[in-house]
Amino acid sequence: MLTLPPSVRVFVAVGATDMRLGMDGLSALARSRLGLDPFSGHLVLFRNRRGDRLKILVWDRSGFWVLYKRLEKGTFSWPRSSVEGRLELRTSDLLLLLSGGDITRPRRTNWYDRLSENVEEKVEEGLAKTSFGAEIVRE
């Protein structure tokens, strides 16, 4: 889980971004298209056209970090805007977005989760246990 200080702001690049871009391309995009200083230490989020990949660009005073997440199933909820540009999110919205929530509607969406699929199979066989040893019983 990410822990961010209150001084860090989270910006979203509205629209689709070419995920072939690396650190330099994303920082140039943040500067030109979004009007942001990529060296500010704030997080800048980019999503691909299909919506199943997300990159986060951040500067940590010694270099750039790019965090990349690809979903096996489903898409990231993404704010819609008629104007290409940026939006700002709260830190709690970022955590909701990364955990599978829809930041435009407060309900959880279904995502692929290999662990839960395996647990469901084992529950059917009567073999499932939680991480702390309790048995899972299907009623």
**Element of type H or E holding 72:** none
pLDDT reported for residue 132: 42
Query: How many C-beta atoms lie closer than 10 Å to residue 52's C-beta?
Result: 16
Task: pLDDT band for 125, please (50, 70, 90 cuts).
Answer: low
Pick the closest to residue 74 from 92, 43, 47 (CA basis).
47
3-state secondary structure of 60: coil
Chain segment 17-73, per-residue pLDDT in tens: 999 999 999 999 999 999 999 999 999 999 999 989 999 999 998 999 999 999 888
Q: Position of tokens 């961010």?
A: 4
Among 21, 23, 113, which residue's Cα sits nearest to residue 59? 23
Band (99; pLDDT cuts 50, 70, 90): confident
- Where do the domains of the chain lie? 10-108, 112-139
Predicted confidence (pLDDT) at residue 133 exceeds the cutoff of 50 = no
